[in-house]
């Protein structure tokens, strides 16, 4: 192994790996057929060293556990696939995520791994989309595949592929998407071999170790600066589990040990749910989530990899919402997953409120429409919707934006071209962004007019417990869903978690996602910004007056004298703003 790599070579290898990681994305979305991967980019690649540690990517931590199962029987040309969360120690967290792993060899020597997982439109189970809102066990959520070889020394294992495709309602899409993931892994392998050929294998592998070490040193600084010795705690809630149970408490405690290790303790989190909101999270993946938040919040220049894992300790109580016992249902775990991030922000924000952010829309809203068209051809539309990304230190939150890196909305033209649906509206929801010096991002309302009979399934959250504000910012708007039958103007409320709702031609679904919390004192927000928000239909004049203390005239211009007087009155009446504004906090659940 080379003793040291010079800084220029190290930078070249680092950026080449970053580019290869994005090239993986590009290959996947060009080959995939499903809108979930092709249009919304619900796939997560990484490139690892020979020990399975992620050097670049978005998710990591799971390669060693998979390699261990094969006891060193890892060969050139092998490609592995799996989707069972319990069989891979939570490396992926529900059956819809199919994960592919490829060992990378250069001149017969193992130099690393490439891996991607992507969300499949359907993997069987009791309902189209394979995410039943009322599941009580994972047996109801579709086919479970343990880690197996899909390619054995370069030869396709057709039996495995046939079994996987025989257990889905969308075999053509799943086949294309799986092959896209495999092609992405092969692309990364090619680029890694090129780096080994160019700089030498020992230099490449040493560079990978140096990149991990550099991230570790940077994380030590962040821990020292932002993680307190005395524990800080934060609690947030998931609304319900789809079976009428809830709210479910998630409690996080963060502190620093004497040896400098940061501890993230979920003791006090509620027991696992009867319904499918349980999040079977891998301990390493949990560390990764904390690490990426600290990097993004406190120093985005740090390369995101697994080098810092030994600096973190994670406590995940067995049998809890974050460490459920088999065979707990997992399909709608994103309601819990995203609340995970809100708890991080709330806990870390107590030590560095000037660098933290408020709560966001806190889930991953799904809309699924299935049926048969006039030619008796089966269709299955699945779309991820977005909501308000929270107010933050550097500015306003984003309206109708994704939590997940690189995700994008499905183009309306795509939906209307391939499915019997018209999208009649797509706009931010007025007053759903929490007031603040930096306004919370607004949720969105998307209106679907359905052109064929079929069934609709919906999965969402933040309908009961709103996204909280921070540093004086106010809480944001909650979500709601509505059905308007053809020929009627009456709106029927739909639960946030429901499967197989019968619909007919001409019916419309109004899907309203949650907004997000505001950051900072709304009375400090420049009045002209508030007037601009009114002009953009993001804030009503009534909310401008009640939450921001801003009064505008009939022409939308700020009345300076009236505004100054009102703001002075509100400050005197209110006093110092609260560090957190929850809007509603289910104390009875404590």
Query: What is the per-residue DSSP string for 475-525?
Result: P-PPPEEEEE-TT---EEEE-SEEEEEEE-TT-EEEEE---B--BS-GGGS
Give the Cα separation of 304 and 58 in Å (integer). Answer: 8
Q: What is the pLDDT of residue 141?
A: 97
Which whole-number Å values give the CA distances from 206 to 218, 306, 329, 348, in the listed order? 18, 15, 42, 34
Residue with tokens 């991080």: 344
Q: How many alpha carbons fall within 13 Å on the CB side of residue 194? A: 11
Instruction: Reduce the DSSP state of residue 450 to 3 states and report it.
Output: strand
Rounded to two decimals, the pTM is 0.94
Give the Cα separation of 63 and 48 in Å (integer). Answer: 8
* 55-66 pLDDT per residue, tens: 999 877 788 888
Q: How many alpha carbons fall within 13 Å on the CB side of residue 96? A: 25
Give the Cα separation of 55 and 46 in Å (integer). Answer: 8
Hey, where are the domains in the chain?
7-215, 357-590
Q: What is the pLDDT of residue 2?
A: 57
Strands of the sheet with 444-450, listed across from one edge: 421-428, 444-450, 508-512, 480-484, 491-494
468 Cβ contact list (under 8 Å, min separation 6)? 236, 342, 346, 358, 359, 475, 517, 580, 581, 582, 583
CB 481 within 8 A of CB 510: yes
Quote the DSSP letter at residue 388: P
Q: Which mean pLDDT values do the consecutive 10-residue runs of the chain (590 residues) have?
A: 85 97 96 95 95 89 87 94 90 93 97 96 96 96 97 98 98 98 98 98 97 96 92 96 96 96 97 97 85 85 92 96 96 90 89 84 93 95 96 95 86 96 98 98 98 97 96 97 97 97 98 98 98 98 98 95 98 94 75
Q: How many alpha carbons fall within 13 Å on the CB side of residue 396? A: 21
The closest of 274, 320, 334 to 135, measured between CA atoms, is 274
* 447-505 pLDDT per residue, tens: 999 999 999 999 999 999 999 999 999 999 999 999 999 999 999 999 999 999 999 99
Token pair of 575, please?
Answer: 């006093």
Instruction: Reduce the DSSP state of residue 538 to 3 states and report it.
Output: coil
Q: What's phi and psi for 24, nearest 5 deg?
A: -55, -45
* Long-range pairs for 529-538: beta carbons < 8 A, 24 or more residues apart: 529/439, 530/558, 531/556, 531/557, 531/558, 533/439, 537/427, 537/428, 537/430, 538/399, 538/428, 538/430, 538/431, 538/433, 538/439, 538/442
Cα diameter, the chain = 77
Q: What is the pLDDT of residue 404?
A: 76
Q: What is the pLDDT of residue 590?
A: 45
Token pair of 369, please?
Answer: 């429409």
Give the Cα separation of 266 and 362 in Å (integer). Answer: 18
Question: What value, to the nearest 5°, has the Cα angle with vertex 422 and ends 420 and 428?
Answer: 140
């Amino acid at each position: 192994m080379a003793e040291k790599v010079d800084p220029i070579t190290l930078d070249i290898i680092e950026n080449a790996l970053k580019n290869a990681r994005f090239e993986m994305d590009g290959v996947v979305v060009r080959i995939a057929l499903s809108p979930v991967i092709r249009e919304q980019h619900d796939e997560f690649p990484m490139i690892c060293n020979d020990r399975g540690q992620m050097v670049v990517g978005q998710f990591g931590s799971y390669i060693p556990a998979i390699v261990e199962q094969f006891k060193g029987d890892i060969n050139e040309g092998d490609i592995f696939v799996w989707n069972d969360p319990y069989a891979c120690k939570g490396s992926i967290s529900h059956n819809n995520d199919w994960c592919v792993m490829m060992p990378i060899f250069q001149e017969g020597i193992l130099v690393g791994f490439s891996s991607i997982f992507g969300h499949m439109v359907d993997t069987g189970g009791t309902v189209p989309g394979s995410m039943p809102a009322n599941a009580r066990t994972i047996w109801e959520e579709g086919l479970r595949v343990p880690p197996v070889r899909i390619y054995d020394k370069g030869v396709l294992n057709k039996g495995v592929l046939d079994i996987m495709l025989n257990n889905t309602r969308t075999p053509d899409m799943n086949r294309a998407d799986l092959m896209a993931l495999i092609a992405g892994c092969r692309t990364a392998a090619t680029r890694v071999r090129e780096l080994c050929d160019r700089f030498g294998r020992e230099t490449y592998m040493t560079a990978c170790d140096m990149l991990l070490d550099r991230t570790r040193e940077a994380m030590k600084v962040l821990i020292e600066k932002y993680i307190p010795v005395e524990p800080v705690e934060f609690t947030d809630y998931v609304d319900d589990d789809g079976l009428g149970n809830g709210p479910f408490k998630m409690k996080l405690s963060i502190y620093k040990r004497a040896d400098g290790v940061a501890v993230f303790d979920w003791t006090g989190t509620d027991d696992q749910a009867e319904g499918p909101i349980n999040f079977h999270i891998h301990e390493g993946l949990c560390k990764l989530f904390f690490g990426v938040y600290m990097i993004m919040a406190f120093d985005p220049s740090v390369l995101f990899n697994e080098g810092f894992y030994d600096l973190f300790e994670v406590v995940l109580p067995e049998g809890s919402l974050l460490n459920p016992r088999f065979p707990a249902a997992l399909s709608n775990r994103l309601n819990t997953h995203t609340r995970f991030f809100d708890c991080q922000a709330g806990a870390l924000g107590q030590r560095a409120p000037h660098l933290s952010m408020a709560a966001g829309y806190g889930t991953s809203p799904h809309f699924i429409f299935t049926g048969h068209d006039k030619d008796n051809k089966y269709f299955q539309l699945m779309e991820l919707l977005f909501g308000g990304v929270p107010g933050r230190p550097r500015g306003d939150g984003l309206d109708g934006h994704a939590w997940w890196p690189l995700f994008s909305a499905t183009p309306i033209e795509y939906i209307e071209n391939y499915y019997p649906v018209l999208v009649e509206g797509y706009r931010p929801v007025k007053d759903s962004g929490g007031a603040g010096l930096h306004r919370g991002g607004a949720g969105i309302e998307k209106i679907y007019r359905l052109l064929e009979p079929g069934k609709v399934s919906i999965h969402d959250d933040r309908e009961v417990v709103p996204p909280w504000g921070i540093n004086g910012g106010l809480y944001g708007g909650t979500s709601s869903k509505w059905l308007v039958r053809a020929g009627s103007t009456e709106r029927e409320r739909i639960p946030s978690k429901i499967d197989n709702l019968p619909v007919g031609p001409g019916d419309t679904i109004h899907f309203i996602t949650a907004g997000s919390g505001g950051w900072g004192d709304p009375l400090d927000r420049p009045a002209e910004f508030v007037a601009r928000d009114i002009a953009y239909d993001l804030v009503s004049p009534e909310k401008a007056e009640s939450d921001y203390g801003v009064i505008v005239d009939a022409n939308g211009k700020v009345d300076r004298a009236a505004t100054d007087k009102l703001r002075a009155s509100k400050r005197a009446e209110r006093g110092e703003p609260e560090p957190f504004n929850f809007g509603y906090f289910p104390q009875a659940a404590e």
